Amino acid sequence: MLSSRSLAISGTGIRLLLADPAPVLVNLVMPLLLAGFLMPATKAQLRLAGLPEATGAEQVVPGMAVLFAFLSTMLVCTLFFREHAWGTWQRLRASQASSLDIVIGKVIPLYLVQLLQMAVLFGAGSLLFGYHPTGSLVALAVVVATFVATLVAFGVALVASFSTMDQVLVVGNLGGMVMAGLGGALAPAATLPGWAQAAAHATPAYWGLEAIRDITVDGAGLADVAPALLALVGFTLAFAAVVAWRFRPADAKVGTT
Amino acid sequence: MLEVTDLRKTYGERPVLDGVQLTVGAGQIMGLLGANGAGKTTLISIIAGLRGADSGSVRVAGLDALRQPRRAARHIGLAPQELGLYPMLTVAQNLAFFARLAGLRGGGRRRRVAEIAAALDLADQLGRCAGELSGGQQRRLHTAMAVLHRTDVLFLDEPTVGADVRSRAGILDVVRAMAAEGTAIVYTTHNLMELEQLGADIAVLHAGRIAVEGHLDDVVNRYATASVGLRFDGAVPALPGWHADGSRLTPDLPVTDPAAAAARALAALDPNQAACLTGVDVTHPSLETAYLAITGQPRTSENHHALVA
Give the gap in angstroms from C-alpha A174 to the nearest C-alpha of chain B. 29
Residues of B in contact with A16 (CB under 8 A): 86, 88-89
Interface contact A257-B87, CB threshold 8 A: yes
User: Which of B12-21, B213-222, B253-262, B278-287 tops mean pLDDT?
Assistant: B12-21
pLDDT at A1: 63
Q: Residue B170: which pLDDT band, with cuts at 50, 70 and 90?
A: confident
Section A78-87 average pLDDT? 92
Q: Residue B299: which pLDDT band, with cuts at 50, 70 and 90?
A: very low
Q: Please state, in angstroms and rounded to a whole number, the distance separating the CA atoms of residues B214 and A207.
A: 68
Interface of A with B in 107-166 (CB under 8 A): none
Residues of A in contact with B73 (CB under 8 A): 94-96
Residues of B in contact with A257 (CB under 8 A): 87
Query: Is A255 among the domain residues?
Result: no
Give the gap in angstroms from C-alpha B175 to the nearest C-alpha of chain A. 19
Q: Residue B305: which pLDDT band, with cuts at 50, 70 and 90?
A: very low
| pLDDT tens figures, A141-179 | 999 999 999 999 999 999 999 999 999 999 999 999 999
Asked which of A10-14, B115-119, B210-214, B304-308 is least confident by mean pLDDT, the reply is B304-308
Give the gap in angstroms from C-alpha A15 to the nearest C-alpha of chain B. 8
Q: What percent of chain B stands above pLDDT 70?
A: 96
Q: What are phi and psi of B154, to 5 degrees?
A: -125, 130
pLDDT at B292: 84
Query: Is pLDDT above 50 for B84?
Result: yes
Query: Is pLDDT above 90 for A203?
Result: yes
| pLDDT tens figures, B120-144 | 889 999 999 999 999 889 999 999 9
Residues of A in contact with B103 (CB under 8 A): 96
Section A88-102 average pLDDT? 91
Query: Is pLDDT above 90 for A183?
Result: yes
Q: Is A192 on the interface with B (CB under 8 A)?
A: no
Give the gap in angstroms from C-alpha B132 to the nearest C-alpha of chain A. 14
Q: What are phi and psi of A138, to 5 degrees?
A: -65, -45
Section A187-195 average pLDDT? 88
Q: Please state, in angstroms and rounded to a whole number, the distance separating the CA atoms of residues B189 and B163.
A: 12
Q: What percent of chain B stands above pLDDT 90?
A: 46
Query: Is A61 among the domain residues?
Result: yes
Residues of A in contact with B88 (CB under 8 A): 15-16, 19-20
Q: Please state, in angstroms and rounded to a whole number, the distance separating the CA atoms of residues B203 and B291.
A: 10
* Tally of domains in chain A: 1
The residues with which B293 forms a beta bridge, in sequence order, are none
Query: Is A124 among the domain residues?
Result: yes
Q: Residue B163: which pLDDT band, with cuts at 50, 70 and 90?
A: confident
Q: Residue A201: which pLDDT band, with cuts at 50, 70 and 90?
A: very high
Query: Is A36 among the domain residues?
Result: yes
**CB contact at 8 A, A89 and A83:** yes
Interface contact B88-A19, CB threshold 8 A: yes
Q: Residue B298: which pLDDT band, with cuts at 50, 70 and 90?
A: very low
Residues of B in contact with A20 (CB under 8 A): 88
List the single residue in B50, B84, B88 with the smallest CB-CB distance to A16: B88
Query: Is A47 among the domain residues?
Result: yes
Interface contact B83-A87, CB threshold 8 A: yes
List the single residue in A86, A90, A94 with the smallest CB-CB distance to B86: A86
Residues of A in contact with B89 (CB under 8 A): 12, 15-16, 19
| Mutate which: A83, A88, A253, vs B, most B CBs within 10 A | A88
Instruction: Give the residue on A whose Cα is nearest the Cα of B70.
Output: A96
Query: Is A257 among the domain residues?
Result: no
Print the domain residue range for A102.
Answer: 4-246
Query: Is A142 among the domain residues?
Result: yes
pLDDT at B79: 92
pLDDT at B300: 36
Interface contact A11-B73, CB threshold 8 A: no
| pLDDT tens figures, B16-33 | 999 999 999 999 999 999
pLDDT at B284: 81
pLDDT at A28: 92
**CB contact at 8 A, A242 and A167:** no
Q: Residue B307: which pLDDT band, with cuts at 50, 70 and 90?
A: very low
Where are chain B's structural domains? 1-75+151-215+287-309, 90-144, 226-284
| Long-range residue pairs from B57-60, CB within 8 A, at least 24 positions apart, any chain | B57/B3, B57/B4, B57/B5, B57/B6, B57/B7, B58/B2, B58/B3, B58/B4, B58/B5, B58/B7, B59/B2, B59/B3, B59/B5, B60/B1, B60/B2, B60/B152, B60/B153
Query: Is A40 among the domain residues?
Result: yes
| Mutate which: A91, A99, A104, A256, vs B, most B CBs within 10 A | A91
Which CATH number applies to B1-75+151-215+287-309: 3.90.1200.10, 3.40.50.300, 2.60.40.10, 3.40.640.10? 3.40.50.300
